[in-house]
Amino acid sequence: MPILPSLYHSSDVIDLCAGSAFKYGPTSPPSIADFSSSSLTIVMVHWTDNVHRIWWKEASIYHIYPASFKDSNGDGIGDIPGIVSKLDYIKSLGVDLVWICPCYKSPKVDMGYDVSDYRAIDEQYGTMKDVEHLLEGLHSRGMKLVMDMVANHTSDQHEWFKSALASRDSPYRDYYIWKKPKVGENGEKLPPNNWLSLFSGSVWKYDEKSDEFYFHLFATEQPDLNWENPKVRQEIYDIMRFWITKGVDGFRMDAINFISKDPAFPDAPITVPSSKYQHAAMFYSMGPRLHDYVAEIGKILKEYNAFSVGEMAYLYDPTEIIKIVSFDRNELNMVFQFELIDIDRGPFHKYSPKKWTPREFKDIANKWQVFMQENDGWNALFLENHDWGRSVSRFLSDTHELRKIGAKMLATFIGLQSGTLFLYQGQELGLANMPKSWSIEKYKDLETINYYKQLLHDKVSQETLNTAMGEIQKKARDHARLPFQWDSSDFAGFSSIQPWMDINEDYKEWNAAVQVDDPSSVFSYWRSIFDLRRTYKDVLVYGKFELVDPTNEKICAYRRVFGCEAALVVTSFSDSVVTWTLPQELLRPGKIVLSNYGDVKGLQTEMVVRPYEAFLYILSS
């Protein structure tokens, strides 16, 4: 007699489809197809039950930094009409959504993340009519638009803050966070606590007129909103509805885990004795009312079936993240957590050094993959964005010999995991960081400039300054913000004049025109990854993730399994040849469907894996 599903209790069942043993328990219930002979009953366990299929899990997203994408009017700065002119290029990659960084009206102290009017487009980028054309162009091509929603803070030029600063009796005064000063031993006015700003210095700025400090996690020109005030929350929700009504399909919620702070604003522990101000993320990165606020946001998003991804820095604990992204919580679809991106972040600052190993790299990926699949959450997959250096330069090598192969390997590593895949502009071309020969004067970003100025102010040693510059050359936000390299013409086809930032010197060789029609290019490789995620959707989007040979120090291999479908992903983080002994249970019939060297024929017991080699093997059912 067959074993009935209602009688299934085992937590140790062999999956004969995948050819391996998985442990199944109450958090990963199987579905069962069974058959029997006179002497044997075989139970087939499939990783298919309780999979919530939904459009945004299957989507891929292209991330655009407007100022650096394409200049349409010859002023040296990218704009919305420039984006519209390149929609066919974006569509040809095979992505489903486009996320653009802020283009709202702004003084641009922090390149648009200091918003002065949420319902107006900055004239540098275009007009509201241009946004409508962008929406029409995307929707007619079957793509959606995601906009950045900066909800933690505004510009100090926003009408709310100007009114709040003008008078303590302003109806907008409580839209922001104000505190009385502490008084020093000599009667001087001191900040209310010792928290360090993310852009250096104190998080507090003194207003002499009212004898109070206002709070700013970022630049002094970016005062934080007071989310304890229900009027503030309603303002943000109304802004979201305004854009959804315009046709926007979703939001990336900037710094969303910072909107709830510890209301006591206690002093942070002293972790850097030499510093006047101390890292205090434990008091603002997951505040006591965060879930209340995000749940309210989630109701609006669910009402419109809108896409959402939250930016959540300084949170490496998946048990906290799952409270935001668990499918039944209805808060956010997914979040950007930065544990993998922060792998080379030292203990004191983004620009303090830290060595890392490939083993750590894959262990972090495994941690988030397994936790989310076991707890009905979802990952946002990314290695680049507008706030970090280029991945091939940071994590591998951008030397001429290995850059193309390395860029493809990283694409394989991140692109075939479980989650929604994000691709940052230029990543599809394998673009690299600024040349190391460029001096600090070439950098424009406030975060980098403030940090370097602080080091000079503190009169640090030349050795410390050199170390910091080495880290800036790997991690600075400016690397990702160099103008897009469209072709080999003057100014890389980005503009007809000298752009707002210098063009990378390698643009004549590394550009879109060279790669789009080249089947061996990084661009074509990324297009193949998007195609494969659609072709093998069940296994590559929804399939179970399991590391293979997890203790290997150079090879990162993982298996994806869904029912009787299985795939093996192999990537090498070594810049030299590695001999790898393939686990015997993986020596099964199948086919290579993706290879960054292009000549892998199949699997062998002893695999000679070349520098930064990567391939995808689909196992036969």
| Sole residue written with tokens 């990165």 | 285
The amino acid that residue 96 corresponds to is D
Q: Could you give the CA distance from residue 322 to residue 247 in angstroms, rounded to a whole number?
A: 29
Residues ≥6 apart with Cβ < 8 Å to 252? 99, 146, 147, 148, 149, 308, 309, 310, 311
Answer whether 249's CB lies under 8 Å from 309's CB. Answer: no
What is the phi/psi pair of residue 420, to 5°? Answer: -90, 130
DSSP 3-state of 160? helix
Cα–Cα distances (Å) from 256 to 201, 324, 336, 410, in that order, read 22, 11, 10, 28
Give 65: exposed, middle or buried? Use CB within 10 Å, 0-12, 13-18, 19+. Answer: buried
Answer whether 491's CB lies under 8 Å from 466's CB. Answer: no
The amino acid that residue 395 corresponds to is F
Cα maximum dimension of the chain: 93
Q: Could you give the CA distance from residue 482 to residue 492 in angstroms, rounded to a whole number?
A: 11
Q: Which of 79, 235, 254, 384 is an active site residue?
A: 254
Token pair recorded at residue 10: 């085992």
Q: Could you give the CA distance from residue 412 to residue 407 in angstroms, rounded to a whole number?
A: 9
What is the phi/psi pair of residue 555, to 5°? Answer: -100, 130
Give 270: exposed, middle or buried? Use CB within 10 Å, 0-12, 13-18, 19+. Answer: exposed
Answer whether 333's CB lies under 8 Å from 309's CB. Answer: yes
| Sole residue written with tokens 């479980």 | 418
| Sole residue written with tokens 């058959």 | 35
- Which of 438, 455, 420, 361 has its CA nearest to residue 542? 420
Is residue 254 part of the annotated active site? The answer reads: yes
Dihedral Cα 313, 419, 481, 525, nearest 10 deg: 150
The amino acid that residue 243 corresponds to is W
Q: Sign of the C-alpha dihedral, residues 44, 412, 570, 531?
A: positive
Q: Which of 96, 212, 221, 311 is an active site residue?
A: 311
Active-site residue numbers?
254, 311
